[in-house]
Amino acid sequence: MPNYPVLIGAGQLTNHPKVIDEAIEPLAMMERVAGAAEKDTRLSGLLAKLDSVQVVNMLSWSYADAPGMLAARVGAEPTHTVYSPIGGETPQRLINETAQAIAEGRIRLALLAGAEAMESRRLARKLDLKLVWERGTPERVDGENRPGFTETEARHGAATPTRVYPLFENAIRAHLGRSIEEHQRQLGELCSRFAAVAQANPYAWFRNARSAEEIATVRTDNRMVGFPYPKLMNAIIETDQAAAVIMTGSETARELGIPEDRCVYLHGCGDATDKWFVSERVNYQSSPGIQAATQRALGMAGIGVDDVSMFDLYSCFPSAVQIGLDALGMKPDDPRPLTVTGGLPYAGGPGNNYVMHSVATMVQRLREVPAEYGLVTGLGWFSTKHSAGIYSTRPPQGDWRRADPAVDQREVDAMDSPSFVGQAEGDATVETYTVVFNREGEPEQGIVIGRLNGGAGSRFFANTPADRELMLAMTREEFVGRRGHVRSEDGRNVFRAA
């Protein structure tokens, strides 16, 4: 019988430090969730038997050898350790790669963990205190870790998620043909569904339900960040959270004495990357990468999307959810749960490790509904890197074989996308845009992605003139499709509407 990859334990921790003495360093948090994951298996002594320890890249703190230090803390002597590159898809991708290694007999028992202490760092800065935790520069990062943006994109202000995902959102709205007001209502309703799930999640950072109107309405306590997203539509990164899972093979689980009711199988998985830079994308309202990863996962599992009972779609911003739904052929009002945690704006977005919480929560939920299927997606950078997994307590049938991601990647890479120019000059049309606001709620920068020659030519990045009234008008009137002229001025492209 095949040694099917299976998750046998999951642990989570959410810490709300009110004073600096309540702060827990990431390494200690990972040690705790590793212990919780072992306890969840109903079998003691497992951590000492680990032959693989893998840690998700941390944004809030760094250690010289995080997986090695974690292994020492839990009493393990692994022959295989990993410290991942940056990317929100990382936990699911590590699970996919570990599953393949288990099926091929290269790994027997693995711990995958991650933690962030962004809230503790914020508190320390506020109190002008120093966190006395061991620190070091990582000795290695296992995998590609290149930047997610170009110099041209950064020069025009498009180098952070709060500035890029709104570009996708405005493209989605224009593609659907909605008015700004109608689309904001729809976003509020989508986000309200997520917040309601977070209210019931004991590990969520914010456990209060919010109405669609509350989420979508701009107020002093819900300022606009990057149009069309008020603060409550943005991932909350300042959290102290950790999560871990333990993986093995089904035959090994039986040998170890793991109860069958602890086992959640990875039935299918997929990994793909969209064209790496935002300026290279096919368009801004869809993702061939997400479609490739999810369809590969569903196909491998031998099911269709209608067979899935619950989802955790990556939700750093509403556009990520909508692009994921589009790739799956689903509608935002699909009655099935679109998240099991509550999503990054409400359950919390701990750096690169959110999806470890997705999977840990999915494991618990699927144990409550045996034989049902759950689908988890993760993405990294600007909807750039994608990973998907299909889970169930139902054992797989037949062989378990992960497809080489390069097969799907070749198809995505071969898709046509517009040529790009760093310095643009001539008549142009807006393809998508956003307006960035400061902490005082004032517009500070308009960002435009446009096409030359009436929309048929090369793509470019530009800024609008720093005109307050113009930028405010861009939040009230549809700017996608607006015609004008672009020219290079002082090292940046400037777009002026006709």
Question: Concatenated DSSP letters for 376-439?
Answer: EEEEETTTTEEEEEEEESSPP-S---PPPHHHHHHHHHTS----B-SS--EEEEEEEEEEEE-T
Q: How far apart are CA 168 and CA 322, in angstroms?
A: 10
Q: Are the beta carbons of 347 and 198 closer than 8 angstroms?
A: yes
Q: Are the beta carbons of 78 and 315 closer than 8 angstroms?
A: no
Model pLDDT for residues 77-89, shown as the tens digit of each residue? 999 999 999 999 9
Quote the Cα angle for 140-269-189, to 5°. 100
The enclosing H or E element of 32 equals helix 26-40
Q: How far apart are CA 463 and CA 486, in angstroms?
A: 9
Q: Are the beta carbons of 130 and 258 closer than 8 angstroms?
A: no
pLDDT at 382: 97
Residues 6+ apart with CB under 8 A from 387: 89, 90, 92, 93, 96, 269, 270, 271, 293, 355, 377, 378, 379
Handedness of CA 342, 344, 348, 353 (dihedral sign): positive
Residues of the chain with CATH 3.40.47.10: 5-146+237-413
pLDDT at 359: 98
Q: How far apart are CA 213 and CA 316, in angstroms?
A: 20
pLDDT at 320: 98
pLDDT at 144: 87
Nearest to 338 by CA among 202, 198, 183: 198
pLDDT category at 284 given cuts 50, 70, 90 is very high
Model pLDDT for residues 13-58, shown as the tens digit of each residue? 999 999 999 999 999 999 999 999 999 999 999 999 999 999 999 9
| 277 has pLDDT over 80 | yes
Nearest to 112 by CA among 125, 102, 126, 98: 98
Which residue's entry shows tokens 């015609």? 483
Domain covering 426-497, topology? OB fold (Dihydrolipoamide Acetyltransferase, E2P) (2.40.50)
pTM over 0.85? The answer is yes
Nearest to 347 by CA among 336, 360, 334, 335: 360
Question: Residue 139: is it exposed, middle or buried by C-beta count within 10 angstroms (0-12/13-18/19+)?
Answer: exposed
Residue type, 122: R
pLDDT at 62: 96
pLDDT at 456: 78
| 241 has pLDDT over 90 | yes
Average pLDDT, the chain: 97
What are the DSSP calls for 432-490, one per residue?
Answer: EEEEEE-TTS-EEEEEEEEEEGGGTS-EEEEE--S-HHHHHHHTTS--TT-EEEEEEET
How confident is the model over 108-123, as a mean pLDDT?
98
Q: What is the share, in percent, of the chain residues with pLDDT greater than 90?
A: 97
How confident is the model over 290-311, as a mean pLDDT?
98
Q: Is 494 helix (H, G, I), strand (E, B) or coil?
A: strand
| 172 has pLDDT over 90 | yes
Residue 128 is given by DSSP the state T
> Quick one: CA torsion of 98, 341, 351, 120, rounded to 10 degrees?
-130
Nearest to 327 by CA among 282, 277, 393: 282
pLDDT at 367: 98
pLDDT category at 134 given cuts 50, 70, 90 is very high
Q: How far apart are CA 111 and CA 119, in angstroms?
A: 25
The enclosing H or E element of 272 equals strand 264-273
Look at the chain and count its residues. 498
Q: Are the beta carbons of 310 and 162 closer than 8 angstroms?
A: no
Q: How far apart are CA 317 and CA 143, in angstroms?
A: 26
pLDDT at 318: 98
Task: Mention the CATH class of domain 5-146+237-413.
Answer: alpha beta
pLDDT category at 497 given cuts 50, 70, 90 is very high
| 1 has pLDDT over 80 | no
Residue type, 160: T
pLDDT at 454: 73
pLDDT at 455: 73
Which residue's entry shows tokens 């296992």? 142
Residues of the chain with CATH 2.40.50.840: 426-497
Nearest to 276 by CA among 422, 386, 352, 431: 386
Q: What is the share, in percent, of the chain residues with pLDDT greater than 70?
A: 100
Residue 344: both structure tokens together: 């990054």
pLDDT at 205: 98
